[in-house]
Each structure stands twice: as C-alpha cells, then as structure tokens.
Amino acid sequence: MLYIVFLTGVCNLRCRYCGGSIPEEVMPHEIQYNIESLREFIAKDPEAIVAFYGGEPTLRLGKMIEIMDAVPAKKFVIQTNGFFLHKIPEEYLNRLDAILVSIDGPKEVTDYYRGNGVYDIVLDRVGKIRPAYRGDLIARMAVSQESDIYRDVRHLLSLPFDHVHWQLNVVWAPDDSWDDFDSWVRNSYNPGITRLTDWWISELKEGKIPGIVPFLGVIKRMFWPEDGVPCGAGRDAFAITTDGRVLACPIGGEFEWNNLGDIFSSEPEDFRNSVEIDEPCRSCDIYPICGGRCLFANKERLWGMDGFKKICGTVRHLVNEMNRAREVIEELIADGVFRREDFFYPPFNNTTEIIP
C-alpha cells in the first residue's frame, strides 16, 4: 500500500490556490510521534510505498532521512515545491523512486500562481539534481484559469522532466476563484486536451511516447482495469498525519469520514478498502476508467451537484480523446512498434492522481 507521510504542515510558499501552511487546528505543524511507531506500523506491509508530503517536506530533510533509514519501504516518493531539492544528499536522492516537483507551466503562469521568481528557482534546483538523479522526475501542475493546457504541458515536456502531470484547481478552491469556469473549459481546456491528444498521437506514430501522465494513466486503466479512484485513496493508499492519524485522503484532515484511525492501535490491513466511492459515480459508464476521479470531491462536492457534473464533463472529454488515442495505440502494437507493457504507467502508485 501507499503511505503518504506528512513531515510538516509548514510551507515556505503561499500559492494563490493553496494559501500556504496547513492550519495547526487541522494538523500539528511538526511530527508528534516517535519514528519507531511509524516503522512498526509500516513494517507490517511488505509492499509498502512511502511518499513524503507537507506543507513542504524538504523543510524537514533530517526527519525524511531518519524515516528513510528506519522504515523498510520498497519505494520512496516525494512531492515538493523544489526549493530545497539540491540539499538532499545524493545517497538519499537516488533512493527516491519518483520526485514530483510543483511547477505550473511557463514562467508567467508559475510565477502568477506561486510567487515572483519561483519558476527560475525551481528550474535552477531541478538543473542541479538532474545530472545525478536516476529516478522519475515529474512536473506536477495545478491547472487554473491562467493555464493553457496545450502550451503549458508542451513547455514542461521541453524541460528536464520525465513526465508531466496536472490536477485541475477545482473543489479545493471556492468556485468564485474562477471568473468563468464554464467558458474556460469550453474555449480553452477541452480544446487544449484535443490539441494535445493530436500531438501525442503524432508522436506515437513516430515511435515516441511523450510522458503525459493523465494520458498514460487513462490508457493503462483501459488496458488493465481497476476498481476505485486511480490514486487509491481509501482503497490501498492512505495518509499519516504529523500526530499519527490515518486519513483516507491527504486532503481534508478535518473531515470525520476521512479519519480512519491511527498508527498506534491499528495495522495497515485494517484500512484496506475502507472508504468507497458514492453514487452517481459507480453507475457511470466511464467509472471503470475514471474510478470516481477523486475521493474527496466525491464525498464533499463543495461546488454542489451542478459543479460536480461540470468537472465530470472534463473527465469525459479526456476519456473520449484517449479512446481515440487507444485505437491508434492498438494498431501500433499490432504493427510491432510498441508493446502493451510500454503503456503500463505508473509502474507503482507514485501519488499521481491520473484523472485531473
């Protein structure tokens, strides 16, 4: 299973769509438990994947290193804003199987949402680790109304990243953070997904597989069906807060449905398949691919049912475009250009949610 371990609730940035550090009334800013308790809990799972999370986890590199030395995980992952990547000792850097770096696109978009100068700092840090780092380096975008999905994904793929993933800035933000979400989807996002799919298909026909995570992840679900949200929340992926609580989803530690227990009085298997997706998702025709998109959004529906349906429309458009790509991929596999296994991404749960 995947264990998303909060190292701290503190962040050094105040992004427009996030606001900075996690409030202490939701979760203490620093780890309250003894690392031996975490080790004993996770060691009961021989297939454990540990992902470091925050706040900004690299603000607590000492704690990260302590956990990596103590906890017998098969894989390690980190989600970071990238500011302190260059401070990770190389020995530990290359024990990270995947690094997700927050960057929203070109300089003007990234700096608008994340702060002046952030883009240049992140690329400087990525440039410092890229020659030594052998794992999967993933650009993780938050996509909002200033984003142009075609332009921004193509831009990030031109940089030293292996893959690009994005998540729509919806539900976690109030809907008044958008001037006109409907118009943006209709005139920018959905056409951008179509244009990006056209480009992706043209690259596939040239024998290349550009690392667009939502495309690859949807194709993977088409070839290898699963049940539930692709991120695994509530099924086989859980978060561990700084005070040792176990959450189904790392977002929303204050919600009762999300608090499942703790690492002191439970075992990992106690939590497997503990939270299910609710209707209308389970009866939807694309549920086998989408899996409900997002456990938090499915449970909370902070934009109401109309907003929920609007977001579902973006997922349906993505799935339709990937059905078009799948036909080409199957022809290329039949012609021997690719193997089906070439589209098995991610190879393990690396915290990319797949469905934006």
The 10s digit of each residue's pLDDT in 205-215 is 999 999 999 99
How large a percentage of the chain has pLDDT more than 70? 99
The pLDDT value given to residue 169 = 93
- For all residues of the chain together, what is the average pLDDT? 96
| pLDDT value, residue 173 | 59
Contacts of 5 (CB under 8 A, 6+ apart): 38, 50, 51, 52, 53, 67, 239, 240
Q: Is 70 exceeded by the pLDDT of residue 142?
A: yes
pLDDT at res. 178 = 87
What region does 339 belong to: left with phi over 0, alpha with psi -120 to 50, or beta? beta
Whether the predicted pLDDT of 9 surpasses 80: yes
The set of residues, in sequence order, having a beta carbon less than 8 Å from that of 275 and lying 6+ positions away, is 233, 234, 235, 248, 257, 258, 260, 295
**Alpha-carbon gap, residue 118 to 13, rounded angstroms:** 9
Residue range 20-68, pLDDT digits in tens:
899 998 999 999 999 999 999 999 999 999 999 999 999 999 999 999 9
- pLDDT interval class at 249 (50, 70, 90): very high
Q: Cα 48 vs. chain centroid, distance in angstroms?
A: 18
pLDDT value of residue 286 = 96
pLDDT band at residue 17, thresholds of 50, 70 and 90?
confident
Q: Domain-by-domain residue ranges, the chain?
A: 174-229+277-344
HEC letters along 120-154: HHHHHHHHHHCCCCCCEEEEEEEECCCCCHHHHHH
The pair of three-digit structure tokens given for residue 153, joined into one six-digit string: 């994904």
Q: Please, are residues 56 and 80 in contact by the beta-carbon 8 Å criterion?
A: yes
Per-residue confidence band for 175, with pLDDT thresholds at 50, 70 and 90: low
pTM: 0.96
